[in-house]
Amino acid sequence: MNKVVLNEGDKVLLLYTTHEKQTLKIMQRIKSHLDKKLSCDLIELLPTAQIDLNHYQAALLGSSIRYGFYSKVMKKFIQQHYQYLNNVPSGFFGVNVVARKANKNTPETNLYTKKFLASIPWRPTIAAVFAGALYYPQYNWFDRNMIRFIMWLGKGDTDVTKPVIEFTDWQKVDQFAHQFLTQTLGSSETF
């Protein structure tokens, strides 16, 4: 079982996968809080990434949903490194647009996240789900129309001319960063 409590200045791995960079934006916001107490490396998990986990005393992983699934690369990384992840203070957050709905925005009520966490051998110390964003003009024809149709079914915003439709609750992201610091540093005096 985990977990050691961190000391100020310890190193934290912030690892993410993304398509349109909303997960990166969320990770950067979290980093802006963690940086006050810990030393953070922000790394995109590409299939070719070589990461030496011995450098890190804690890890936070973030990934977004595409057509019902979190990144395969992220899942493979977790399956390869779950023993390390289970032995350090750790966190996971997922990003998707279904999480814009109040009854689908926790790891227990967001089905993608519930299924994902149940399918891996890692038990993160804390987990969250954040609503993402839509960038209709950036999508190809197929994706734009698929997402528009899915949003229409869910009574969401279907205006494909808007450059960005952001659902992310930044206060919730800030609270998660606070919670991560509280858990890892073993103190509530974090902000």
Site for ligand FMN in 41-70 (CB under 6 A): 64-68
Is the Cβ of residue 107 or residue 132 nearer to ligand FMN in the bound state? Answer: 132
CA distance 29 to 142: 31
Question: CA 138 to CA 144: how far, in whole Å?
Answer: 8
Does 133 interact with ligand FMN (rule: CB under 6 A)?
yes
Size of the site for ligand FMN (CB under 6 A): 21
Residues 154, 158, 162: CA angle, nearest 5 degrees: 140
- Among positions 57, 90, 96, 125, the unique one binding ligand FMN when judged by CB under 6 A: 96
Alpha helices in the chain (DSSP H): 22-34, 72-86, 111-118, 141-153, 170-185
Q: Is 147 in the site for ligand FMN (CB under 6 A)?
A: yes
CB of 64 to ligand FMN, least distance (A): 3
CA distance 77 to 16: 11
Which residues lie near ligand FMN (CB under 6 A)?
18-23, 64-68, 95-98, 132-134, 139, 143, 147
